Every structure is written in structure tokens, then in C-alpha cells.
Amino acid sequence: MGASSAAAHGRANLARDPGPNGREQVRLCLERLLSNADFVRDTCGDDAPQGLKLLYEDKALGFQILAHINDKARVSPPHDHGASWAIYGQATKYTDMIEWEREDDGADPSHAKLRPEKKYRLNPGQAGIYQDGKIHSIDYPDKSRFVRVTGTNLDRIARIRIDLKTGEVHQMTPQQAT
Ligand SMILES: [Fe+2]
């Protein structure tokens, strides 16, 4: 499966069911795309240009497929994607994924108390979902590269990140964290 047929499968599945079942089909589809060695080499290999590359944007449904061609290791702070879900599919190296649960009642918009709820590692060929509104963080080494499908263009929606030490909630600027 190549990127264009993965996009077509995604479109068909999300048009039929935009909820968790449709997203699960997209996750499986992303794993099939990442099992394509030619795609991984051409899009995410050592010679691929670094940075963020938009592979596909669906004008009708709004979802995006983005290749994150990372060079340097990074630990993101816990953050959400607002009302959007995200599916992360690993191409090279690995990404450690954490889902966080809020221990406070959300009454204070400027502070949050978090505890890790679920931790797992994505290895090449594996994809994982963060459902809409889920606070999450990622941690990856140098040259970790992944393909991410988001429910919508994240630049257009309000998102928050949380400082783990102080619990302070901050509004995020576009593409500040993945
Ligand atoms: Fe994220």
C-alpha cells in the first residue's frame, strides 16, 4: 500500500464511521503503509528531507497525513490536540507513548494534576491512537521518524500543554509539539 491508497482507505473508512471504529481502520491502514519498505525509505529514510511534510489533506473530512522526519531526540510535554484525535505510526527507531489522566476536576483552567495512565512503545510498523481530547506525550531518540494522521489541521484548533513540575496549563502555539 502506498500513501495515496492509504489516504483513499482512510477517507472511505472515516466517511463511513468518524468514531473510534473508523479510526481503528485508519490505524491498521497506517500499519500497512509502514510495512511498505519503499515508502519508508523514500519518505522517512536517511536521505528524506528533514522536517514536517504534509503527505495528504482531505478537503472534505479535514484529516491530514503528515510525515515527521525528525533528526534530534525530543521529549514533548503532556498536551492535547483539542477536539482532534491523532494516530502515530512509527517508521524508524521508536517512540515512547504516554497517555495521562487528570486527577483534578478540571475546575481550575490554569492548573492540572496528571498521572500516567498508559505507557507503551511504538516500534517500526506499529501505530497507536490518541483519541480526541486525550492528554498525551511522546519521547523519541535521534532519527526517530513517524507518520501521523490527525483528525483535522491542528494549526486551526486550540490546544493545551501542561508543565509536569508545576501543573501549569499553557495554550499551545501551532506545531509546537507533536
Ligand atoms: Fe500530540
CA–centroid distance, 120 to ligand 1, in Å, is 15
Which residues of the chain are under the pLDDT cut of 50? none
Say if residues 161 and 177 touch (Cβ distance below 8 Å): yes
C-alpha distances out from residue 127 to 41, 88, 106, Å: 18, 5, 30
CA–centroid distance, 137 to ligand 1, in Å, is 6
* H helices present in the chain, as ranges: 3-16, 20-34, 37-44
pLDDT at 175: 58
CA–centroid distance, 80 to ligand 1, in Å, is 6
pLDDT at 53: 95
CA–centroid distance, 17 to ligand 1, in Å, is 22
CA–centroid distance, 175 to ligand 1, in Å, is 9
Instruction: Please compute Rg for the chain using Cα positions.
Output: 16
CA–centroid distance, 85 to ligand 1, in Å, is 9
For the question of whether the overall pTM of this predicted structure is more than 0.75, the answer is yes
The x, y and z cell numbers of residue 137, run together, are 506525550
pLDDT at 176: 55
CA–centroid distance, 176 to ligand 1, in Å, is 10
CA–centroid distance, 136 to ligand 1, in Å, is 6
pLDDT at 129: 96
pLDDT at 5: 93
pLDDT at 106: 85
CA–centroid distance, 81 to ligand 1, in Å, is 6
Q: Is the dihedral of CA 29, 124, 53, 160 positive or negative?
A: positive
CA–centroid distance, 37 to ligand 1, in Å, is 25
pLDDT at 156: 79
Sheet holding 135-140, edge to edge: 74-75, 135-140, 95-102, 114-122
